[in-house]
Amino acid sequence: MRVGKTLFGLKRTALLCLLVCGCLSVAACQKEGADAAKTQQLSTAETRDQLKEPSQSTAVEVSTPLSLQAIEGSAMGTSYHIKLALTPAQVEQKDRLAAAITGVLEDVENKMSTYRPQSELSRFNAAPIDTWIPVSDDTLKVVSVALSLSQRSQGAYDITVGPLVNLWGFGPPHHEDKVPSQAEIDTAAQLVGYQKLEIDSLNKQWKKSSALYVDLSSIAKGFGVDKVIELIEQEGIHHALVEIGGEIRSIGKKVEDQSWRIAIESPTAHERNIQRIVNINDIAVATSGDYRNYFEKDGKRYSHTIDPATAYPITHTLASVSVVAENCMIADGLATTLMVLGPEKGFKFARDNSLAVFMIIKGANGFEERFTDEFRQYLVQE
């Protein structure tokens, strides 16, 4: 059974149920099975509330009533949900802002999607080896963060894992739900290795020393969130929450006395229950899990997260991991890294790197939670 597809695929479903408490409430839950991602709105009543800027803002803003507005759409094979506190003048410009957001996300897809044959990434994947290829600032930034994560995790996180992702049926080529042969796995595994990917930041170019297929699905969505936040800030908007397919970032600490809050979903495939509610003010949170994008064969679950060390989907008991970080690109990349590392090695990695991490682990008696001290501050109730 195919429950969802990966980033930029059609059926990608969100990992987080977004519950923006306080002056608004919205769910970013997406229904399974539909061709396009669907949004489940928990409550819209509060979105009509009139808000006031908090007292620490400038004099002009204090006297300007703000209204909470929503912008929603589809991009990167999933859906996005944005909440913004806008002045009346900004409300009048909302359509223009929505179009600009679409433009920003289109641009990220045109650079980093493996689902677009003409994207910058797809063209690099098809390019000859040992040849420097010019690279955009955005892709260079994402790839350099990805490569440093590979080094820090000793290759558990590896964006060159693409041939295996595709072979296991989680990439752009259409695949039935089947376990590949060992020979196919071995052949694809030979192509994997982040050391074969080189970047030259000074001259803004990249090259591969042997055949490679780079897959940025584990990090591009987080980068897209950051780009939308950047745009929103440039528009002079101070309170916003941006979510793309479960990866989230907020700006503005509070509207009136309310924090931005989101719900971390329980990692169950066919239900949507809230595991925990967390405050996220001026911070990003990303979640990776094994419970939305997988297939089952002979009673075994094969998830879209591949362990490059085994060339197989992960087999450990970590069902979901959420990471809070200063930007969403790094939170997204780290969440995938920890998902590969699993409950023990991943938790040690989180501790060693002082990361704010929340894990949901399959235990003998149901789900067990494990979180680092750095994460505790974000939990609404323990």
Q: Would you count residue 7 as binding ligand ADP (CB under 6 A)?
A: yes
The amino acid at residue 308 is: P
Nearer to Mg ion, 135 or 321 (CB): 321
Task: Confirm if 339 and 314 have CB atoms less than 8 A apart.
Answer: yes
Nearer to Mg ion, 22 or 313 (CB): 313
Nearer to ligand ADP, 84 or 347 (CB): 347
Report the alpha-carbon angle 359-273-176, nearest 5: 80
Number of residues that bind Mg ion (CB under 5 A): 4
CA–CA separation, 306 and 298 (whole Å): 19
Q: Would you count residue 30 as binding ligand ADP (CB under 6 A)?
A: no
Task: Confirm if 288 and 54 have CB atoms less than 8 A apart.
Answer: no
| Residue 165's binding partner out of Mg ion, ligand ADP, none, with CB under 5 to 8 Å set by partner kind | ligand ADP
Q: Would you count residue 159 as binding ligand ADP (CB under 6 A)?
A: yes
Beta strands across the sheet bearing 356-363: 50-52, 65-75, 78-86, 240-244, 247-251, 284-289, 318-325, 356-363, 366-371
Q: Would you count residue 339 as binding ligand ADP (CB under 6 A)?
A: yes
Q: How far is the CB of 175 from Mg ion (least distance, A)?
A: 21
Per-residue binder mask for ligand ADP (CB under 6 A), 221-250, x = binder: -------------------------x----
Task: Confirm if 250 and 226 have CB atoms less than 8 A apart.
Answer: no
Supply 103's token pair. Answer: 């433009």
- Interface residue with ligand ADP, options 115, 157, 206, 291 (CB under 6 A): 157
Q: Would you count residue 165 as binding ligand ADP (CB under 6 A)?
A: yes
Return the residues of window 32-61 that contact ligand ADP according to CB under 6 A. Answer: none
Nearer to ligand ADP, 132 or 312 (CB): 312
Q: Would you count residue 161 as binding ligand ADP (CB under 6 A)?
A: yes
Please report, for residues 93, 107, 135, 290, 345, the alpha-carbon distance to residue 315 in angstroms, rounded to integers and kept in the order given.
Answer: 49, 35, 35, 10, 13
Supply 176's token pair. Answer: 């039935």
Supply 349's token pair. Answer: 């990695």
Task: Confirm if 331 and 285 have CB atoms less than 8 A apart.
Answer: yes
Nearer to Mg ion, 7 or 71 (CB): 7
| Residue 157's binding partner out of Mg ion, ligand ADP, none, with CB under 5 to 8 Å set by partner kind | ligand ADP
The amino acid at residue 223 is: F
CA–CA separation, 309 and 248 (whole Å): 29
Neighbours of 185 (CB within 10 A): 18
Q: Would you count residue 279 as binding ligand ADP (CB under 6 A)?
A: no
CA–CA separation, 43 and 27 (whole Å): 8
Per-residue binder mask for Mg ion (CB under 5 A), 202-241, x = binder: ----------------x-----------------------
Q: Would you count residue 337 as binding Mg ion (CB under 5 A)?
A: no
Q: Would you count residue 327 as binding ligand ADP (CB under 6 A)?
A: no
Q: How far is the CB of 201 from ligand ADP (least distance, A)?
A: 21
**Residue 303 contacts by C-beta under 8 Å, 6 or more apart in sequence?**
290, 293, 294, 313, 314
Q: Would you count residue 69 as binding ligand ADP (CB under 6 A)?
A: no
Q: How far is the CB of 361 from ligand ADP (least distance, A)?
A: 16
Burial label, 196 (beta-carbon count in 10 A; 0-12, 13-18, 19+): middle
Nearer to ligand ADP, 85 or 165 (CB): 165
Q: Would you count residue 284 as binding ligand ADP (CB under 6 A)?
A: no
| Residue 24's binding partner out of ligand ADP, Mg ion, none, with CB under 5 to 8 Å set by partner kind | none
Q: Would you count residue 290 as binding ligand ADP (CB under 6 A)?
A: no
Supply 322's token pair. Answer: 């959420």
- Interface residue with ligand ADP, options 215, 226, 243, 290 (CB under 6 A): 215
Residue (of 245, 294, 359, 336) closest to 17 by Cα position? 245
Q: Would you count residue 288 as binding ligand ADP (CB under 6 A)?
A: yes
List of residues contacting Mg ion (CB under 5 A) = 218, 332, 335-336
List of residues contacting ligand ADP (CB under 6 A) = 6-7, 15, 157-159, 161, 165, 170, 215, 217-218, 246, 288, 293, 304-306, 308, 332, 335-336, 339-340
